Homo-oligomer: A and B are copies of this chain.
């Protein structure tokens, strides 16, 4: 299985502030400004984070007049999870096979 696009996804998910953003978005769509009011970082910092989250497709921008709201795409997380699960199973399968060969079975 190709690892490929998984890496940027994990890199995006490997930051605490971004999870705070995702968690906040779990309560409904919100703009960068709105998020900045309840998170301990600047609007611009949040904007950057939203950009990387959008880049990997885990969040989606929705223009509403002059503001841009974001919403989480849960299915993207689930899809990533499926791929990761497959990789984990694959590793166990191969290593078990190798072990059996090594033990002469």
Contact = CB atoms under 8 A, between A and B. Distances in A.
A7 B28 contact: no
Contact of A90 (B3, B19, B74, B89): B74
Nearest to A11: B14
Interface of A: 3, 6-16, 19, 22-23, 26-28, 71-72, 74-82, 84-85, 87-95, 98
B95 A85 contact: no
Contact of A81 (B9, B19, B72, B81): B81
Given A3-B19, A74-B89, 16 more contacts: A3-B23, A7-B13, A7-B15, A7-B19, A8-B14, A11-B14, A11-B15, A26-B90, A27-B98, A72-B91, A74-B90, A74-B95, A77-B87, A77-B88, A77-B91, A81-B81
A71 B84 CA distance: 17
Given A14-B14, A15-B11, A28-B98, A81 B75 contact: no
